[in-house]
Amino acid sequence: MTRINPRLASFLILILIVIAGTFLVFKATPEGLGLSDDSIAYIAGARSLLAGNGYREAWLESNQPVTHFPPGFSSALAFLGLFGLDPLRGARFLNALLFGLNAGLLGVLVWRMTPSLAAGLVAAALFVANGDLLQVHVVAMSEPLFIFFSLLSFWMFDLYFELPPSSVGKGIAGEWWWLVASGAFAGMAYLTRYAGLALVATFVVAILVLRTTWRKRFTSIGIFLAGFLPFALGWALRNRLVAGNTTNRALAWHPITEENITTGLRTFSEFLIPIQSWRRAIFKQTGLIEGLLFVFLGVLLAWTLLQVRNHLSKPRQASELKRGGKESREVISFTTGLYLFAYLASIIASMSLFDAATKFKLRILAPVFVSLLILLVAFGIWMRKKNRPLVFAAILLLLGLSAYKQSVTLAHWSQGGLGYASFQWYDSQAMAHLRELPADVSVYTNEPAAVYLYTGRGARALPTRYDSATARERPDFDAAVAAMQADILQGRAVLAVFDGGENLAGGMEMLISGLNLAFKGQGDEIYTQP
């Protein structure tokens, strides 16, 4: 009887997990992916690229060049559009594929980290069975593609350090190309989300720790940046030329609010505690979830710093792993620990200095959760040497709890579209009214993304007293309101206020003063000239 090669069998099982992950996204989104303001921005940007107009704010009447959102996700959707798939539909296909591929990449990284074929399969299975990570992939957002490029960057970095340190470009033919590839994938991640800078910080610090001389350190950093900088500098130059800024973000101090911290605690607890009743019981205990999270992250930070010390104190010591008949060093767990804190630091800095509108929501923290899965498996491998039955039981428990939460997530999402994909937007009478407007009449609205999606026309955002990015009062608010009312009173525009969306217009009395209520239905209102 022919015995199946364990590596081949594991690879085939991994492929099945990838296929299962792709299938889950399709099953959870029978009406399409969930849609938000940012989703429409990406989709509209992709349509603008396909139309040959460049990367523009097609969901807004101004149709200015986009700088706030990096172009990676929209470019991927536009690429699919070349084959006849509209970006709105292409996003579902892409994210379904990415959910499976990200699980597969995670499995490969864990194989290389441990090295254990079973551990890689467990990591991939935990990824696919995780309800929170599924939710990240069933919304038309850039995080799945960002995670994909990030995992590829980690893989290339590990390949570069697969063998003991040698002179860069010597010893192993072409070893430095892996570092160029790592930098290039980090650049692609940056063009998908600006948080990709955390990858750069991670790998630069890792090179400083892992390389043994300053010459090798600076040379390796230079090679890595040679792969990264063309993407970052090219995008910055484009933005400076077409819009006069690099990322459409202004430096301003706005400390993280208590509400945002509470959101982050809840998001972390939902990932770490899959059973809702358990989570509610813990939240009722004042300070318990904060204390647990503080201890948890503190232990991870201490472990990461210990790894830094070990690598610096024993720079030439290789692990006991064997690859290609030679000793090699395992760097994935170490770089993952570095990345977890580099990423957290980057989003905290962004919230405090550049964009107060960013919140500790699931999609923002998703890269942290992927890192935690890698470190969890690394801890399991370490524990296996001490108590194999306990680790086996823990794996079964984790998979069981994850599968339970995944079933709840699937049941919730498969009921219908969420966000702008929900039936309340499909059946909106106000949208039907707006579709009948002449093309030369502008639409001011608190939901410009929804208006673009359901009418095909760019809209104008309502004037707001406070800038969500800087958390400061706009000095030109009164002038903007006066300009809007002048447009409406002269018949050049209408005002559409939607009750079902997330964007709520403040100071409505001032905005609608002197205007005629021409339509009211389903909680929505449209105002015109008297």
pLDDT tens digit sequence for 5-26:
888 899 999 999 999 999 999 9
Asked if 519 and 512 count as a contact pair (C-beta separation under 8 A), the reply is: no
Tokens of 158: 């590990």
pLDDT 10s digits, 458-471: 999 988 888 777 77
Contacts of 175 (CB under 8 A, 6+ apart): 160, 163, 166, 168, 169
Q: Are 501 and 446 in contact (CB under 8 A)?
A: yes
Q: Say if residue 360's pLDDT is above 60.
A: yes
Q: What is the DSSP string of 327-365?
A: E----HHHHHHHHHHHHHHHHHHHHHHT-TT----HHHH
- What is the 3-state secondary structure of 230-258? HHHHHHHHHHHHHHCCCCCCCCCCCCCCH
Matching residue, tokens 């799945």: 144
- Whether the pLDDT of residue 50 is over 50: the answer is yes
Position 58: which residue type? Answer: A
Rounded to the nearest 5 percent, the helix, strand and coil shares of the chain are 65, 5, 30
pLDDT band at 486 (very low <50, low <70, confident <90, very high): very high
Phi, psi of 494 (to 5 degrees): -130, 165
Report the C-alpha gap between 401 and 171 in whole angstroms. 48
CB contact at 8 A, 275 and 401:
yes
What confidence score (pLDDT) does residue 502 get? 52
Contact 190, 70 (CB under 8 A): yes
d(CA 240, CA 247): 9
Residue 41, pLDDT above cutoff 60: yes
- Helical pair 143-160 and 362-384, crossing angle rounded to 10 deg: 40
- Six token digits for residue 318: 């290789």
What integer is the mean pLDDT of 260-280? 88
User: What number of helices (H) and strands (E) belong to the chain?
Assistant: 21, 9
For residues 34-43, one letter each, b for 16 or more C-beta atoms within 10 angstroms of the residue's C-beta and e for the rest, the string is bbbbbbbbbb
> The tokens of 275 are what?
């059973």
Tell whether the model's pLDDT for residue 148 goes beyond 50.
yes
The amino acid at 518: A
This prediction has a pTM of 0.93
Residue 245 pLDDT exceeds 90: no
Q: Angle at the Cα of 425 (from 421 to 428), degrees rounded to 5?
A: 160
Mean pLDDT is lowest, of 332-341, 380-389, 400-409, 427-436, for 380-389
Average pLDDT of the segment spanning 348-370: 93
Query: Which pLDDT score, from 0 to 100, does residue 511 have?
Result: 85
Residue type, 394: A
Q: What is the mean pLDDT of the chain?
A: 89
pLDDT of residue 168: 44
Q: What local confidence, expressed as pLDDT, does residue 6 receive?
A: 81
Give the tens place of pLDDT for each residue, 179-229: 999 999 999 999 999 999 999 999 999 999 999 889 989 999 999 999 999
Weakest-pLDDT range from 159-163, 320-324, 350-354, 433-437: 320-324
Residue 173 reports pLDDT greater than 70: no
Q: Indicate whether 437 pLDDT > 90.
A: yes
Residue-level pLDDT at 317? 46
Q: What is the pLDDT at residue 2?
A: 63
